[in-house]
């Protein structure tokens, strides 16, 4: 058995990994109970399992858990602070960009990664980020609206 030591949502964690191929999404969901990370396709194609690892958006269903050794992982559960939603979460609600909600955590985490790296990302960059996810309910217009609104909210917070 290997010991995975990493930080999740600001908290140092240790997880005993059993033999075999265990993915980061499995550790987050099954070992740590962070079920906001959804697993849709299991092949890294739909984006629902997206989390932020060391600042980069990754599809956690195809990242071997061992690759997270020593890393910092942020999941949807770690985004809100002191009971206050993150501006991206607020924007998704305000733009009505949520229907079933299955893809929403992954979309929010990808946008978090994009907007923290480049707060002034172009609409084209935001559209490209959104297009890396599959959504069967909402349609992409309201999701892009939410991304643009989130960007404004984050810039306003930064300038406040």
Residue 24: is its pLDDT beyond 90? yes
Does residue 61 register a pLDDT over 70? yes
Radius of gyration for the alpha carbons in the chain, expressed in angstroms and rounded: 15
Overall average pLDDT of the 22-45 stretch? 95
Has domain 87-159 been given CATH number 1.10.10.10? no
- Return the domain boundaries, the chain: 2-78, 87-159
Residues 109-133: what's their mean pLDDT? 96
Which residues, in sequence order, are bridge partners of residue 136?
none
Q: For all residues of the chain together, what is the average pLDDT?
A: 94
User: Tell me, what's the pLDDT at 78?
Assistant: 98
Select the highest-mean-pLDDT range: 49-63, 90-104, 133-147: 49-63
Instruction: Say yes or no: domain 2-78 is CATH 3.40.50.300.
Output: no
The model carries a pTM of: 0.94
Residue closest to 89 by CA, chosen among 115, 125, 121, 61:
115
Is 4 exposed, middle or buried, given 0-12, 13-18 or 19+ CB atoms closer than 10 A?
buried
pLDDT for position 83: 92
pLDDT at 104 over 90: yes
Q: Is the pLDDT of residue 160 over 70?
A: no
């Amino acid at each position: 058995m290997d010991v995975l030591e990493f930080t999740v949502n600001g908290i140092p964690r240790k997880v005993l990994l059993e033999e075999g191929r265990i993915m980061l999404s499995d550790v987050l969901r099954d070992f740590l109970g962070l079920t906001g990370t959804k697993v849709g396709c299991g092949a890294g194609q739909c984006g629902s399992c997206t989390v932020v690892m060391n600042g980069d958006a990754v599809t956690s269903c195809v990242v071997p858990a061992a690759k997270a050794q020593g890393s910092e992982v942020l999941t949807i559960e770690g985004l809100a602070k002191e009971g206050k939603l993150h501006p991206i979460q607020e924007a998704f609600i305000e733009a009505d960009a949520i229907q079933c909600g299955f893809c929403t955590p992954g979309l929010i985490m990808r946008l978090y990664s994009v907007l923290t790296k480049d707060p002034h990302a172009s609409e084209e960059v935001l559209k490209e980020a959104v297009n890396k996810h599959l959504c069967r309910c909402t349609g992409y217009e309201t999701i892009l609206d939410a991304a643009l609104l989130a960007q404004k909210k984050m810039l306003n917070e930064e300038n406040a």
